[in-house]
Amino acid sequence: MPIKIKVVLPTAFVRHTDGQKQFDSAATNLPGLIADIDQTFPALSTQIKDEGGKLRRFINIYVNDEDIRFLGGETYAFQDGDEVMLIPSIAGGCC
Amino acid sequence: MEYSCSAYELKCNECGRRFGNRPLSGCPDCLAPLEIVYDLEAARGTFTRQAIQAGPFNIWRYAALLPIPEGFQPDLPVGFTPLIRAKNLGKRIGATNLYVKNDAVCFPTLSFKDRVVSVALANAQKFGFDIVGCSSTGNLANSVAAQAARLGLKATILVPADLEPAKILNTQVYGARLVRIDGNYDHVNRLCTQIADEYAWGFVNVNLRPYYAEGSKTVGYEIAEQLGWRLPDNVVCPMAGGSLIRKIRKAFNELIYLGLVEDKPVRFFGAQATGCSPISQAVKQGLDYIEPQRPNTIARSLAIGNPADGPAAAKMILSTGGWAEDVSDIEIVSGMQELAETEGIFTETAGGVTTAVTARLYAHGRISPDDITVVCITGNGLKTTDAISGQYREERAVRPRIADFDEYLRELDASTEPELATAGASLAY
Ligand SMILES: [Zn+2]
């Protein structure tokens, strides 16, 4: 059965998506989502990946509030209805 | 007093692009964190020992190398905290040249966060924000709330719901709006990134972050000045997001570049709690890749599982020949007690981490006994008393009679002598 996930983007990215802050994807995992972005929003793709084609390390990816790395990263299989968020990493805390 | 600042602007750490001055935390191109860079040549005329020493005894004596908007008149005397020679602690852990930089007494809210917030809020005003905010594990919340009150700004502060009660109260008392988030700091941080994206609020550690982080440099300036315009051999620093340790080094490098101190290698050592030690784990493996963790430690002010400055901090530590260590919750409590018993400094859990890590660094020969070593204590223990409550038993009340007092002392000697003898001295680092 095909699945549908919702992908949410920060404002900094929408200049590459014709102003869209979110879009739907049928990707089943993270590599699939990246491939989908390559196809649909090539400009966004070059922003979120480095010269070597890897996701930039300053991007965090969350699935329904959880860092995807805690879910298995690239091996995590998206579930129908998952909300996937791309957010630049930032710091805070004491020091 | 006239506060003259050098020209400064935002620059991307990775691609080098410059962005002038505006509320922006990451590079729109490569998403890397932004940093403030200065016209250091222009600073040669204004950032001199003489000019600094003529300034007030607070962080504003270093205004020439802080990102302070033109016309800003700072009137809050933040910083210039004591650097004390820690002979007693040194004796206990095998150090002969140990200093403690004590930001447990920083004004107005007893943590080093008062430094960063004062610089951040100066810029919040300049950028026209009426509402300021932060995501915080406590100390930052306290400081933003206090300084926003004084500046007449509204504050909305987001914290993990399970924060220490004292830190919550110390935020609310200033009239700040406190939002408890059902999640850990990394959840709160992520939400704040989204809020800053949607609302026109000045988040000191999100969209104002490059300015805010620069306030940390003052710790480094003060250490050098208080050591008589020389640099230490080693600095031990707690790490949460990984920012402070890098900014102390930036301060040292600026002083060297401007000829205010002699050039010498300084090694940097990071301290974390084992229950949240992504940067220390990276350093131990010789990597600058950070594997995020789910925090589980009493040192909540250091509990950042996914530190944004972590990769840079790990890389910097390794490049200086330093090291990072992490200690258990039991060691953290002992570290707090040790610093209090030896030097009269009551620090929060983060300071317990730093003290215990320092002891281990000496025990493992990572630091030579005679090196000039500065340990950075960043917050006050009155805010995390719950961490050590239960460590001391409540004694019975004694009648106001000398005979009763004599009797009481005899009882005490008989029952608690062995127990007292082991307190704080029982650590096996
Ligand atoms: Zn860049």
Write down the pLDDT at residue A50.
86
Question: Is the whole model's pTM more than 0.90, yes or no?
Answer: yes
| Cα radius of gyration rounded to whole Å, chain A | 13
pLDDT at residue B24 tops 80: yes
- Between the alpha carbon of residue B105 and those of residues A27, B109, B110, B141, B241, the distances in Å are 53, 8, 5, 16, 22
Q: What is the mean pLDDT of residues B248-266?
A: 98
Return d(Cα B330, Cα A41) in angstroms, integer: 51
Using CA coordinates, name the residue in chain A closest to B271: A95
Residue A58 has its nearest CB partner, among B32, B197, B241, at B32
A contacts of B301 (beta carbons < 8 Å): 93-94
Mean of pLDDT values over A50-71: 89
Q: B28 alpha carbon to ligand 1 midpoint, in Å?
A: 7
At residue B79's C-alpha, the angle toward residues B78 and B81, to 5°, is: 145
Across the interface, which of A12, A48, A50 has its CB nearest the CB of B28?
A: A12
Query: To probe the interface with A, which of B14, B31, B35, B277 has the most A CB atoms within 10 Å?
Result: B31
Q: Which residue of A has its CA nearest to B302?
A: A94
Burial of B107 (0-12, 13-18, 19+ CB in 10 A): middle
Q: Which residue has the higher pLDDT, A53 or B281?
A: B281
Nearest chain B Cα distance for residue A84, angstroms: 13
Least confident of A49-58, B78-87, B263-272, B374-383: A49-58
Cα–Cα distance, B168 to B137 (Å, whole number): 10
Quote the minimal CA–CA distance from B87 to chain A in Å: 26
d(CA B411, CA B413): 6
Asked if A89 is an interface residue toward chain B (Cβ–Cβ < 8 A), one would say yes
Say how many CB pairs under 8 Å bridge A and B.
121
Say if the Cβ atoms of B197 and A94 lie within 8 Å: no
Q: How confident is the model at residue B1 (pLDDT cuts 50, 70, 90)?
A: low
What residues have CB less than 8 Å from B253, skipping those under 6 apart? Answer: none
Binned at pLDDT 50, 70 and 90, residue B209 comes out as: very high
Q: Does residue A95 sit at the B interface (CB-CB below 8 Å)?
A: yes
Say yes or no for a CB contact (<8 Å) between A91 and B33: yes
pLDDT bin (cut points 50, 70, 90) of residue B426 is: very low
For the cut 50, the answer to whether the pLDDT of residue B425 exceeds it is no
For residue A53, what pLDDT is reported? Answer: 86
CA of B202 to the centre of ligand 1 (A): 22
Element (H, E) at A85: strand A83-88
Helix (H) or strand (E) holding B180: strand B177-181
Q: In this model, does residue B271 exceed pLDDT 70?
A: yes
pLDDT tens per residue across span B133-187: 999 989 999 999 999 999 999 999 999 998 888 889 999 999 999 999 999 888 9
* Contact yes or no for B361/B331 (Cβ under 8 A): no
Contact B76, B5 (CB under 8 A): no
pLDDT of residue B30: 83
Q: Is the pLDDT of residue B112 over 60?
A: yes
pLDDT tens per residue, range B116-145 = 999 999 999 999 999 999 999 899 999 999
The per-residue pLDDT for range B37-53, each reduced to its tens digit, is 999 998 998 999 999 99
Compute, in angstroms, the gap from residue B89 CA to the centroid of ligand 1. 44
Tell me B306's DSSP state: S
Quote the percentage of chain B above a pLDDT of 70: 96
Which chain B residues are within 8 Å of A67, Cβ to Cβ?
186, 292, 306
**B351-364 residue pLDDT tens:** 999 999 999 999 99
Contact B303 A93 (CB under 8 A): yes
Can you name the residues that pair with B178 across neighbouring β-strands? B157
| Confidence grade of residue B2 (pLDDT, cut at 50, 70, 90) | low
Half-sphere exposure of B341 toward its Cβ, with a 13 Å CA cutoff? 16
